[in-house]
Structure 1
Amino acid sequence: MEKTTVSDWHLADEIETKEDVIGMLEAAFEENDTKFLLKVIGEIARSKGMAQLAKELNLSREGLYDSLSPKGNPSFETVVKVLDNLGFQLSVQQKKAS
């Protein structure tokens, strides 16, 4: 019997357009789960090139990976800088009534 190998799947590999990014960020914010949001932002950052992003933000690549991992705890400033570098900004809107 032939062995089957499974390769790692990464969300970053599926991001192709700005609309993909917007949809992923909107969905992540709707979940109201900080760890999930950081994972999504991390995947978006990977899709754009984590090494270059870290360089532009004057951070180490490893530090940025760690910050945006589910176990990470980045400063709000780091999150805002990452989103800004990716071409996004945070905004506030009132929650929809349940």
Structure 2
Amino acid sequence: MAKIETTAFDSADYLNTAETIAAYLDAYLEDSTPEELRTALATVARSHGISDLARRSGISRPGIYKALGQDGNPSFETIRAILSAMGLRLTVEPAEVG
């Protein structure tokens, strides 16, 4: 019987369009903790390449790693700059009440 080789699943490998990234982050915004959202942002950042993202956002590579790392606490401006560098923006819409 042939040996089956597997690799670890990494969401970043599948976040290659703005629409996919927006849907991914939107799912986390629904009901995740701030820590889970920060982890999702880090995954999206990896999907773009941290070096390229740093260049486009004006935030240093170490700054991105620090902000989105396990103990990070990114400011609103950092999140806005990272999303903008990826061609995304935050929007607000009415919540469904019911």
* TM-score, scaled to structure 1: 0.80
**Whole-angstrom distance in 1 between the partners of 2:58 and 2:17:** 26
Deviations 1:37-76 (A, max 9, x none): 1111111111111111112223221220221124210111
Aligned to 2:96: 96
**Whole-angstrom distance in 2 between the partners of 1:8 and 1:62:** 25
Q: How far apart are 1:5 and its partner, in Å?
A: 7.6
Q: How far apart are 1:80 and its partner, in Å?
A: 0.5
> What SS is found at the alignment partner of 2:88?
coil
Unaligned runs of 5+ in 1: none
> What SS is found at the alignment partner of 1:96?
coil
Moved more, 42-51 or 16-25: 16-25
Q: Are residues 59 and 19 of structure 1, via their aligned partners in 2, closer, same or farther at CA, if it must alter by over 3 Å?
A: closer
Q: Are residues 25 and 57 of structure 1, via their aligned partners in 2, closer, same or farther at CA, if it must alter by over 3 Å?
A: same
Runs of 4+ in 1 over 6 A off after TM superposition: none
Q: What is the aligned residue count? A: 96
Asked whether 1:79 is paired with 2:79, we answer yes
* TM-score, scaled to structure 2: 0.80
Structural RMSD (CA): 2.1
Unaligned runs of 5+ in 2: none
Moved more, 75-84 or 63-72: 63-72
